[in-house]
Amino acid sequence: MHKAHSHGKPPGDAPGAIHQARAYELLSALAFTGSRRRIFGRLVTLAKVSAGDEVLDVGCGPGYLTSLAAQAAPDGRAVGVDVSEPMVEEARRKRAGANCSFLVGKAEALDLPDASFDVVLSSLAIHHIPEDARAKAFAEMFRVLRPGGRVLIADFQPPKGLLARHLVGATAGETMRDNPVERIAPMLGDAAFRVGPTARASWFLHCVRADKPL
């Protein structure tokens, strides 16, 4: 059984795809209650994106994080990849630029060359990838990174309190309520990454940093 978080009933073979791109963009802007730039900016900082870096954002959605990464890498580039065509169209419409581009593709089968990026980012996307495809997705991130490259995975940290958990379950579903973020670090280790410290970018964003050894 492919367990992945989904919004609505996406067609095709991507169970975690979000196709309501404009609604997601609006919800995302509202849900961060004015802190979206600060929180996503923290992800870019945690990943130590620098001016010449080539950055890949996996499960980029409408490309907000991708565009911040592109701004932090003016002499490099940022590429967002998402399995949902409407999401990629929205990202292109709102955020494509000279060093910021978007591709349709699956995290677990990236159509990108080996060792072609310095940094891989992924925010709020891992719980959308079917559980049995997550190991392959981390292996793909490892493959496309250059030796010495960094990965930063940020995903939804469910609250601990019973009432808050109930609310998350009722509004966002059980995949988010029960999201096993503690499995991200060991899975990165299994993909041959050297796993670094975890961090919080906000109360609900669990972040794991790791390097591809030289």
Ligand X SMILES: C[S@@+](CC[C@H](N)C(=O)[O-])C[C@H]1O[C@@H](n2cnc3c(N)ncnc32)[C@H](O)[C@@H]1O
Contact residues: ligand X, CB under 6 A = 14, 16-18, 28, 59-61, 64-65, 82-84, 87, 106-108, 123-125, 128-129
Report the nearest approach of ligand X to the CB of residue 124 (Å).
4
13 or 52: whose CB is closer to ligand X?
Answer: 13
SS3 per-residue string spanning the chain: CCCCCCCCCCCCCCCCCCCCHHHHHHHHHHHCCCCHHHHHHHHHHHCCCCCCCEEEEECCCCCHHHHHHHHHCCCCEEEEEECCHHHHHHHHHHHCECCEEEEECECCECCCCCCCEEEEEEECCHHHCCHHHHHHHHHHHHHHEEEEEEEEEEEECCCCCHHHHHHHHHHHCHHHHCCCHHHHHHHHHHCCCEEEEEEEEECCEEEEEEECCC
Report the nearest approach of ligand X to the CB of residue 87 (Å).
4
Report the nearest approach of ligand X to the CB of residue 214 (Å).
28
26 or 192: whose CB is closer to ligand X?
Answer: 26
128 or 177: whose CB is closer to ligand X?
Answer: 128
Report the nearest approach of ligand X to the CB of residue 115 (Å).
20
Q: How far is CA 112 from CA 81, 107, 207, in A?
A: 10, 11, 24
Report the nearest approach of ligand X to the CB of residue 20 (Å).
10
Q: How many residues does the chain have?
A: 214
2 or 194: whose CB is closer to ligand X?
Answer: 2
125 or 181: whose CB is closer to ligand X?
Answer: 125
99 or 175: whose CB is closer to ligand X?
Answer: 175
**Other beta carbons less than 10 A from residue 29's beta carbon:** 13
- Using Cβ positions, the residue closest to ligand X within the complex turns out to be 61
Pair of tokens at residue 22: 């404009």
Report the nearest approach of ligand X to the CB of residue 171 (Å).
14
